[in-house]
Each structure stands twice: as C-alpha cells, then as structure tokens.
Amino acid sequence: MENFASSLVSMLIALAVVLALAWVSLRLLKRMQYGRASGSSGEVMRFVRALPLGQRERVVVMHYRGEEWVLGVTAGGITLLDKGPVPREPEAS
C-alpha cells in the first residue's frame, strides 16, 4: 500500500510539472505570435468588410500598413484585386 501511495504522489508531481511547462509554453507562444503579427512598426492587419459573391466566393477588404487591400477569396485561393491608400473619412459638417 505504501508503494502505491508513493507512486501516486510521484505521478501527481510529474503531472503538475507537465501542466506548468505546458502553461508556460503556451503563454510564450502566444506572446511570440502577437509580436510577429503586429510587425516591427506595431501595425496590425485589420478586417474591414466582406461581400459574398457566391456560395464560396467573396470580396474582402483589409487595411494593412496604411493601405487598403481588396482580395478575391475563393475555395481555390486568394487573389489581390486592388491595393491603394486607405481612403479618408469625409469630415462631418
């Protein structure tokens, strides 16, 4: 019975170590992924709008690095349709 108890305790300690390592690894990966997505200048790709054209086709508008990207998205791939400066909002009078 004493052998079973010591085996159980060692298994629980090992489980706690594995869970702690997994938690630390996930936090580190999340931090690294956020740093990579934001780029060196801190700019993030931002979704603006999607317009469906069919069952699996759509036109997507994204803002990235001060430009507006218009993408055609299909089941087979993504195509850059247009790219230009982000349009400014008209001033309200």
First CA to last CA distance, the chain? 83
Residues 36 and 63 occupy one common structural domain: no
Q: How many CB atoms lie within 10 A of CB 16?
A: 10
Residues 6 and 36 occupy one common structural domain: yes
Domain carrying residue 56: 46-85
- pLDDT in tens for each of the 93 residues of the chain? 789 889 999 999 999 999 999 999 999 998 887 665 555 554 678 899 999 999 999 999 999 888 999 999 999 999 999 999 887 776 666
Global pTM reads: 0.51
Answer yes or no: is 15 within a domain.
yes
- Cα-trace Rg, the chain: 25
Q: Which residues have C-beta within 8 Å of that of residue 15, sequence separation ≥ 6? A: none
DSSP annotation of 39: -
Residues 35 and 63 occupy one common structural domain: no
Q: Count the domains in the chain.
A: 2
**34: Cα within 13 Å, side-chain hemisphere:** 6
Gap between the Cα atoms of 52 and 61, Å rounded: 12
